[in-house]
């Protein structure tokens, strides 16, 4: 005869089959095996660890390994993931970033805290830090030349249409003015070496510029990120009147398709290959001497096959001067670009990323970008 514990485990497994319970309530990862028995939600193992940071609100157990009381199972049965979303996500702004299991820990932890601890999406006034259209504060910014992080005053103003930072706290003129219409922000904790590290990029004279910032307070950093998304959303609403929210939200911020080291040669294909850090930002392939450089050494536009762009494995037979053995040739209407990768796996990953772009038909606005693009050696 089944024990109470065995019976409760089977009941919990049945509850996981209910609509909404089959994926983590916080990040969407499939097949959660943990649960918060005080919130009544099912979560993945990774998010269960983040729930332990708010133990005064959420207490977690393994569905399969821990003992469960009848009352706890009953509480899970009367709640569940869909009920929790209805309760804690009533008023999530359309621009607010909802992280997935692929996102960094900071975004996932602050999403959990925003819902259950701060109840930001029940009380709209608590969204003011990223919804007001204006944000001012100090962030640690990496110096372009010496790599040191120094405190810099930053102002994001929707009215001015820009994010600005100032080298001196009492300076009247900003050191840089980043227009909202070209702004992007992406969390890069590993690359920056800070758990709250954010890479902000913008265009100046159709060339990409990077700044790297962080704040010791995780909430502060995620509020900056969502304030940038809010500013971008309101700009795009004006730029594309009548557009559906679902069409605008993917354009607010974007993660890079791929980053990593490859070797490259110059336009004549006679120079020796040099190791460079490459970033694929949608159809812009940029290369830098080092991952944290402020300026790209060059940028290449990757169009579609309809416009005579192709991706080939390997290098032309006469090619010399390379160290890494796994080559890639990008054929554009103007010239061929030659790259090499250190491993076959890296070559395959880059090939897949390039092929994805080449196979995707170009949008009207991408033709405009291509027209002003200058291929750089």
CATH fold, domain 258-375, is PH-domain like (2.30.29)
User: pLDDT tens-digit profile of 251-292?
Assistant: 999 999 999 999 999 888 888 999 999 999 999 999 999 999
Measured distance CA(341)–CA(350) in Å, rounded: 9
Strand order in the sheet with 326-331: 298-301, 284-288, 274-281, 258-264, 336-341, 326-331, 310-313
Other Cβ atoms less than 10 A from the Cβ of 212: the count is: 25
Helix (H, G, I), strand (E, B), or coil: what is residue 99? coil
Q: What pLDDT shows up at residue 139?
A: 97
Q: What pLDDT shows up at residue 366?
A: 87
Cross-strand pairs, 204: 207
Residue 165: burial class (beta carbons within 10 Å; 0-12, 13-18, 19+): buried
Q: What pLDDT shows up at residue 146?
A: 86
Query: Do 205 and 140 form a contact (C-beta atoms < 8 A)?
Result: no
User: In CATH, which of 3.40.50.300, 1.10.375.10, 2.60.120.330, 2.30.29.30 is domain 131-251?
Assistant: 2.30.29.30
* For residues 170-196, average pLDDT: 95
Cross-strand pairs, 200: 185, 211
- In sequence order, which ranges of the chain are alpha helices (DSSP H)? 4-15, 45-51, 70-78, 81-88, 105-112, 128-131, 189-192, 218-239, 245-248, 344-359, 364-372
Query: Do 37 and 72 form a contact (C-beta atoms < 8 A)?
Result: yes
pLDDT over 90 at 337, yes or no: yes
Q: pLDDT band at residue 377, thresholds of 50, 70 and 90?
A: very low
Q: What pLDDT shows up at residue 2?
A: 61
Arithmetic mean of pLDDT over the chain: 94
**Residue found by looking up tokens 């005869």 in the block:** 1
Q: What pLDDT shows up at residue 252?
A: 97
Please give the model's pTM, rounded to 2 decimal places.
0.93
**Residue intervals in the chain for CATH 1.10.220.150:** 4-124
**Residue intervals in the chain for CATH 2.30.29.30:** 131-251, 258-375
Query: Do 63 and 35 form a contact (C-beta atoms < 8 A)?
Result: yes
Query: Do 158 and 172 form a contact (C-beta atoms < 8 A)?
Result: no
Task: Give the residue, 147 or 108, on which the prediction is more confident.
Answer: 108
Q: What pLDDT shows up at residue 374?
A: 52
User: In CATH, which of 1.10.220.150, 2.40.50.140, 3.20.20.70, 3.10.300.10 is domain 4-124?
Assistant: 1.10.220.150
In this structure, what are the phi and psi dihedrals at residue 326, rounded to the nearest 5 degrees? -105, 100
Query: Do 108 and 50 form a contact (C-beta atoms < 8 A)?
Result: yes
User: pLDDT tens-digit profile of 367-376?
Assistant: 888 887 754 4
Query: Do 74 and 65 form a contact (C-beta atoms < 8 A)?
Result: no
* For residues 195-201, average pLDDT: 97
Question: What's the Cα-to-Cα distance from 190 to each of 49, 193, 216, rounded to whole Å?
Answer: 20, 5, 15
Q: In 3D, which of 50, 190, 35, 186 has the Cα closest to residue 108?
A: 50
Concatenated DSSP letters of 298-355: EEEE---GGGT-EEEES--TT--S--SSEEEEEE-SS-EEEEEESSHHHHHHHHHHHH
pLDDT over 90 at 162, yes or no: yes
User: pLDDT tens-digit profile of 88-142?
Assistant: 999 999 999 999 999 999 999 999 999 999 999 999 999 999 999 999 999 999 9
Measured distance CA(51)–CA(49) in Å, rounded: 5
Residue 104: burial class (beta carbons within 10 Å; 0-12, 13-18, 19+): middle
């Amino acid at each position: 005869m089944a024990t109470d514990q065995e019976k409760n485990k089977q009941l919990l497994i049945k509850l996981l089959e209910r609509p909404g319970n089959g994926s983590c309530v916080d990040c969407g990862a499939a097949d959660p095996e943990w649960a918060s028995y005080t919130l009544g939600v099912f979560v993945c193992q990774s998010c269960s660890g983040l729930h332990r940071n708010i133990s005064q609100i959420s207490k977690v157990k393994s569905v399969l390994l821990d003992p469960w009381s009848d009352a706890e199972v009953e509480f899970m049965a009367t709640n569940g993931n869909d009920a929790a979303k209805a309760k804690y996500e009533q008023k999530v702004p359309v621009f607010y970033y909802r992280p997935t299991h692929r996102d960094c820990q900071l975004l996932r932890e602050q999403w959990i805290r925003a819902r259950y601890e701060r109840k930001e999406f029940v009380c709209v006034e608590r969204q003011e830090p990223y919804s007001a259209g204006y944000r001012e504060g100090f962030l640690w910014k990496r110096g372009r030349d010496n790599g040191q992080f120094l405190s810099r005053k930053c102002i994001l103003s929707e009215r001015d249409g820009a994010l600005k930072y100032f080298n001196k706290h009492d300076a009247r003129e900003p050191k840089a003015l980043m227009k909202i219409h070209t702004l992007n922000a992406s969390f890069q904790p590993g690359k920056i070496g800070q758990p709250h590290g954010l890479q902000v990029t913008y265009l100046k004279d159709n060339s990409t510029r990077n700044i790297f910032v962080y704040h010791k307070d995780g909430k502060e950093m995620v509020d900056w990120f969502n304030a940038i998304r809010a500013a971008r959303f309101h700009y795009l609403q004006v730029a594309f009147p009548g557009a559906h929210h679902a069409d605008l939200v993917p354009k607010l911020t974007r993660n890079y398709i791929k980053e990593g080291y490859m070797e490259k040669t110059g336009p004549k294909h006679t120079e020796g290959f040099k190791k460079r850090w490459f970033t694929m930002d949608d159809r812009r392939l940029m290369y830098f001497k080092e991952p944290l450089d402020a300026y790209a050494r060059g940028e290449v536009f990757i169009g579609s096959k309809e416009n005579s762009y192709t991706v080939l494995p390997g290098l032309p037979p006469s090619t010399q001067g390379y160290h890494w053995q796994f080559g890639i040739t990008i054929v554009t209407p103007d010239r061929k670009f030659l790259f090499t990768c250190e491993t076959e796996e890296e070559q395959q990953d880059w090939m897949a990323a390039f092929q994805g772009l080449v196979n995707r038909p170009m949008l009207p606005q991408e033709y405009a970008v291509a027209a002003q693009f200058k291929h750089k050696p």
